[in-house]
Structure 1
Amino acid sequence: MSAICYFNQGPHGPPFSDLYDCSGPTSVTQGGITASMPGGSFVGALISGFLTDLYGRKSSIQIGSVIWIIGSVISCAAQNYPMLIVGRFINGLCVGICSAQVPVYVSELAPPSKRGLVVGTQQWAITWGVLIMFYISYACSFMRGEIAFRLPWGLQAIPALLLCGGLFWMPESPRWLARNNRWDECQEVLSRIHSGKNETNQDFVGLEMQQLRAACEYEHVNPEVSFLDLCRPPMLWRTHIGMFVQIWSQLTGINVIMYYITFVFGMAGLSGNSNLVAASISYVINVVMTIPALLYVDRVGRRPILLAGSISLMVWWFLCAGLMGGYGSPAPPGGLNHVAEQSWAITGKPAKVVIACSYLVVASFAPSWGPVSWVYPPELFPLRLRGKAVALATSSNWIFNFALSYFTPPAFVNIRWKTYLLFGAFSLAMALHVFFCFPETAGRTLEEVDEALNSNTPAWRTTVGKRSLGNRVEDGEEKGLERVDVSHLEDV
């Protein structure tokens, strides 16, 4: 029995003689089911700003893991659509907390020359998770009975258990420790990050301790931090950049491909297992094409990668729109294959090009906006505001994810191929926004990024900080740097 039949919403009801007696959810209900998780993620991301400042980066991620397990249990036991939506909303609370605070945690642990690689690896891990769960769900689709959909919904609790347990052996963020006057632990964690007994590594630990002490001294003069601080000059400019890098990552249209690719391929003439197998290729592409970003995001920088991704996405979306509008035609009433969202039909060679362009959308997003949208926001803000700032930026991601998840099925029904035009226009707008407003942050410590952003250099003139003091020390190029003794540091 499929989930469509178990949660049947149509006029026929049980018993079911074949699959098409199971009319399944309406386009609005389908959008609501899909959107319930990003809706919860929006709330979770906002909450995470308070959790991370109060309990630390590591503990807030563990709290999120426990919430995920609760949501997975409710989803697995769901008896109707409302119960399923509640379970997914609770799952979303975890996604919001973890998606906001994992990049902060990893950014604050990573050496500056490898920060893009380390944070980007988080996105790569996400693509692996999506791929694995797709194939688990595909394999379960061949089972009979309720286990076909309850098993994958239950199995998703296992990674949360591993994450929550594994974090007990991980250190807390050194910057959060410094902010809470735990200097000995902070120095120990920094020494582990820059592992090694040579003089250069010890000097770099001293340099970071000095920078953290200066940042914390400023914090103790300005102890109160709220979301309103992000809306005041000069922080407002950074806030808008942090929010829009997350907003644009959604308006690339990637989740139209990830959530609804079977609808897109159905309009292009695929059905049944051939549709599912073709859809799985997009998840494989997502995994493979994230690797180039891991290799080059710290060398090339954030700006060039975002610009290249925006321009290529624009090309593929407009090409899809032209092919759909020029060679397609309205589907029969009720949609293709009895799926209302498949309201447009295209066949022949143009259909194959549409399928190829869908893959190219994924191939353009994966090495650009996918990882960089998570690497970039934590780099923009000073220590005292970073937790809440990234929470606000991430909440922007999830509220737009919610909107797109909810409105994409009705959009396919109502404006059909013109949906592609919207994402092409968004891609053009984001390319212009990146060029004129997004500064380069690669190659600097987080404290050096803060100093560079205060200089008000135009975004298009900023470059990768290859010769920053932090990098010269880390690379062993600054031979004459005086060693900094950090043993005397006490509570600020």
Structure 2
Amino acid sequence: MPGGGAVSSGAGVGEHIQTKSKLAGVLIVAFAAFGGVLYGYDTGTISGIKEMHNWLCTFGTDHGDGTCTIDSSRESLVVSILSAGTFFGALLGAPMADIVGRKWGIVFSCLVFSIGVAMQTAATQIALFVVGRVFAGLGVGLISTLVPMYQSECAPKWIRGAVVSGYQWAITIGLLLAAIVNNATKGRPDHSSYRIPIAIQFVFAAVLSAGLAFLPESPRWLVKKGRDADAAAALGRLTSVPASDAAVQLEIADIRANLDAETALGESSYLDCFRGSAGNKIGLRTFTGIALQALQQLTGINFIFYYGTTFFQNSGIKDPFLISIATNVVNVGMTVPGMWGVERFGRRRLLLIGAIGMCICEYLVAIIGVTVSVNDHAGQQALIALVCIYIAFFASTWGPIAWVVIGEIYPLNIRAKALSMAAASNWLWNFGIGYATPYLVNDEPGSAGLGSKVFFIWGSTCLCCIIFTYFCIPETKGLSLEQVDILYQNTTPLRSIAYRKRIFENDVHASDPHALEKIRDEQHNEHADEKV
């Protein structure tokens, strides 16, 4: 444990608490990751449903000769409207988190989501189906803000990255389950072909809401509400030690000290998320979260999971449903190394590696798609292989780590607002990509007909990911949330690795300013030596 064995502050617990219980808090907080199943399953279901014959005949155009189709405008609306709902749901997550709390906000989100599922299940007209997608989106958007926030604030710092990455893993499991269920029901001749995959989501929502009702509230939210005794009890439950334990009390003191310093500057607003002194870098931190979530979508990953079935079919692959399952298996399996690697190699390094790998794969997919015929079996196999490698890079890096970073980089006073804007950015770009893709790739009047050439676009955005990570993402592995705040105030992303080591060496925490003064003295002396 870095820091010389002393009890450390912040998001997690110190070595003393770790020795008593390494699993209690992890298992409790990991359960919240189940919210990702709702996100992933709902996202993945529509990819297969919109290719089902009965769904196309019900909500599209029946040509009377046994074929049914749906035009690009209606396809765009059905796919992207969920993301429009999630955008507003993510923004609503901030007041929800601050007013009713992190855990009860998640429970309420499940209720909103279930209303949308009911509408979609009952629908036989496009209007009700679309409204149902909006309500489901509101629920998923709320969850996408609240779950990473709850996990980041409750998880032990020594494994926080892996626990929050579990949210992305749950998303990939949801996507895989959706592909499997779609493949099982696609041949049914009636409305049950799409109603069964949709209605299964009631079960997921019920499991998540019922389980969360028995879990402790975020200690940080309780401190923010002035309920320090309740916060100590919640932290004690998360760590399986008494609320009176010295390590628990030290951590509560750190949270309180950090919050008092923030609130001394006044009540925060959304505008405050974009300003602040040069020292605390609030504007940079807010921009980093928003841009990181936007770039996660601009890697092109949801092109595969929204339109993968259609893309593989147009590429001449005989069973696109099975290929869709295969890509989802890769997505699930390769997220696990990412959950391990985020605490082994750190956030910054893995984001750089992932962006480079995705960039290379996507340019190769684009080149193969342009130069190889759809009848070239070897070429199509190469295309599938590269797509799977690309998914592997995403799943082990940008998929989970984007959620880890936005859960870590904000101070408590603005965390709910800033994190909600980052999640909303994810969904705004999700919506834009979902809406624009049919017009970009489909070969029909009014569409660009890019086909696989669209991967030139995704490859270029991954190049932007490399540049962004290098200049804007600090290394926060192993730090408490309060220590992350100290890091931002005293260094830059480019120098964050060295400064992080100083935090460990000097056992810096928010309630002890002397250790921080020692680091500043060391830096001053080093600068003086350099000048000499």
Q: TM-score range by the shorter chain?
A: 0.7 to 0.9
For 2:129, the equivalent position in structure 1 comes to 84
For 1:238, the equivalent position in structure 2 comes to 285
- The C-alpha deviation readout for 1:59-97, integer Å capped at 9, x for no partner, is 111111000100000000112222211111110001111
Q: CA deviation at 1:389?
A: 0.6
Quick one: structure 1 residues 346 and 287, their matched pair in 2 at CA, closer, same or farther if it must change by over 3 Å?
same
Whether 1:395 and 2:395 are equivalent positions in the alignment is no
- The C-alpha deviation readout for 1:418-467, integer Å capped at 9, x for no partner, is 31100000001110110111111111110010011011334354259467
For 2:271, the equivalent position in structure 1 comes to 228
For 1:157, the equivalent position in structure 2 comes to 202
Q: Aligned partners of 1:155, 1:406: CA distance in 2, in Å?
A: 26
For 1:187, the equivalent position in structure 2 comes to 232
For 1:361, the equivalent position in structure 2 comes to 390
- Unpaired runs of 5+ residues, structure 1, are 329-344, 475-492
CA contact (8 A) 2:115 2:135 kept: yes
Quick one: structure 1 residues 179 and 462, their matched pair in 2 at CA, closer, same or farther if it must change by over 3 Å?
same
Q: Aligned partners of 2:282, 2:200: CA distance in 1, in Å?
A: 42
SS in 2 for 1:2: helix
Bigger shift: residues 79-88 or 444-453: 79-88
- The C-alpha deviation readout for 1:74-122, integer Å capped at 9, x for no partner, is 0001122222111111100011110011000000000111100111111
Q: Given residue 245 of structure 1, which amino acid in structure 2 is its aligned partner?
A: L
For 1:335, the equivalent position in structure 2 comes to none
For 1:443, the equivalent position in structure 2 comes to 478
For 2:42, the equivalent position in structure 1 comes to none
- Counterparts in 2 of 1:35-50, with a 5 A limit? 35-50=80-95
Q: Aligned partners of 1:461, 1:117: CA distance in 2, in Å?
A: 20
Whether 1:218 and 2:261 are equivalent positions in the alignment is yes
Q: Aligned partners of 1:180, 1:354: CA distance in 2, in Å?
A: 54
For 1:331, the equivalent position in structure 2 comes to none
Quick one: structure 1 residues 464 and 167, their matched pair in 2 at CA, closer, same or farther if it must change by over 3 Å?
farther
Residue of 327, 343, 360 corresponding to 1:298: 343
SS in 1 for 2:396: coil
For 2:43, the equivalent position in structure 1 comes to none
- Counterparts in 2 of 1:37-436, with a 5 A limit? 37-196=82-241, 202-233=245-276, 234-271=281-318, 274-328=319-373, 345=374, 347-413=376-442, 414=448, 415-436=450-471
Quick one: structure 1 residues 466 and 65, their matched pair in 2 at CA, closer, same or farther if it must change by over 3 Å?
farther
For 2:28, the equivalent position in structure 1 comes to none
Bigger shift: residues 188-197 or 175-184: 188-197
For 1:8, the equivalent position in structure 2 comes to 60
Q: CA deviation at 1:125?
A: 1.4
Q: Given residue 29 of structure 1, which amino acid in structure 2 is its aligned partner?
A: R
Q: CA deviation at 1:208?
A: 1.4
Q: CA deviation at 1:219?
A: 4.3
CA contact (8 A) 1:268 1:352 kept: no
Quick one: structure 1 residues 461 and 177, their matched pair in 2 at CA, closer, same or farther if it must change by over 3 Å?
closer
Q: Aligned partners of 2:210, 2:499: CA distance in 1, in Å?
A: 37
Q: CA deviation at 1:2?
A: 1.3
Q: Aligned partners of 1:284, 1:411: CA distance in 2, in Å?
A: 27
Quick one: structure 1 residues 165 and 197, their matched pair in 2 at CA, closer, same or farther if it must change by over 3 Å?
closer
Quick one: structure 1 residues 227 and 457, their matched pair in 2 at CA, closer, same or farther if it must change by over 3 Å?
same
- The C-alpha deviation readout for 1:380-402, integer Å capped at 9, x for no partner, is 11001101110000000000000
For 2:7, the equivalent position in structure 1 comes to none
CA contact (8 A) 2:311 2:451 kept: no
Q: CA deviation at 1:348?
A: 2.9
- Counterparts in 2 of 1:9-28, with a 5 A limit? 9=61, 12=63, 16-18=64-66, 20=67, 22-23=68-69, 25-28=70-73
- The alignment covers a number of residue pairs equal to 447
Q: Given residue 407 of structure 1, which amino acid in structure 2 is its aligned partner?
A: A
Q: CA deviation at 1:196?
A: 4.5
For 1:478, the equivalent position in structure 2 comes to none
Q: Aligned partners of 2:495, 2:339: CA distance in 1, in Å?
A: 23
CA contact (8 A) 2:487 2:499 kept: no
- The C-alpha deviation readout for 1:18-57, integer Å capped at 9, x for no partner, is 2x2x12x112211111101111000100111111111111
Q: Aligned partners of 1:260, 1:48: CA distance in 2, in Å?
A: 28
Quick one: structure 1 residues 132 and 251, their matched pair in 2 at CA, closer, same or farther if it must change by over 3 Å?
same
Bigger shift: residues 173-182 or 222-231: 222-231
- The C-alpha deviation readout for 1:260-316, integer Å capped at 9, x for no partner, is 111221132113xx2211110011111100000111211211001100110000011
Q: Aligned partners of 1:77, 1:468: CA distance in 2, in Å?
A: 56
Q: Aligned partners of 2:406, 2:499: CA distance in 1, in Å?
A: 16
For 2:49, the equivalent position in structure 1 comes to none
Q: Given residue 273 of structure 2, which amino acid in structure 1 is its aligned partner?
A: L
SS in 2 for 1:454: helix
- The C-alpha deviation readout for 1:195-254, integer Å capped at 9, x for no partner, is 3479xx944323311211112323443442211011114311111111111011101110
Quick one: structure 1 residues 160 and 301, their matched pair in 2 at CA, closer, same or farther if it must change by over 3 Å?
same
Q: Aligned partners of 2:505, 2:302: CA distance in 1, in Å?
A: 38
- The C-alpha deviation readout for 1:349-386, integer Å capped at 9, x for no partner, is 22211111111121110010110011111211100110
Q: Aligned partners of 1:470, 1:442: CA distance in 2, in Å?
A: 14
Q: CA deviation at 1:9?
A: 2.7
Quick one: structure 1 residues 217 and 114, their matched pair in 2 at CA, closer, same or farther if it must change by over 3 Å?
same
Quick one: structure 1 residues 196 and 182, their matched pair in 2 at CA, closer, same or farther if it must change by over 3 Å?
closer
TM-score, normalization: structure 1? 0.87
Q: Aligned partners of 1:204, 1:37: CA distance in 2, in Å?
A: 44
Whether 1:457 and 2:492 are equivalent positions in the alignment is yes
- Unpaired runs of 5+ residues, structure 2, are 1-52, 443-447, 510-532
Q: CA deviation at 1:468?
A: 4.2
Alignment RMSD, CA only?
2.2
Q: Aligned partners of 1:137, 1:164: CA distance in 2, in Å?
A: 25
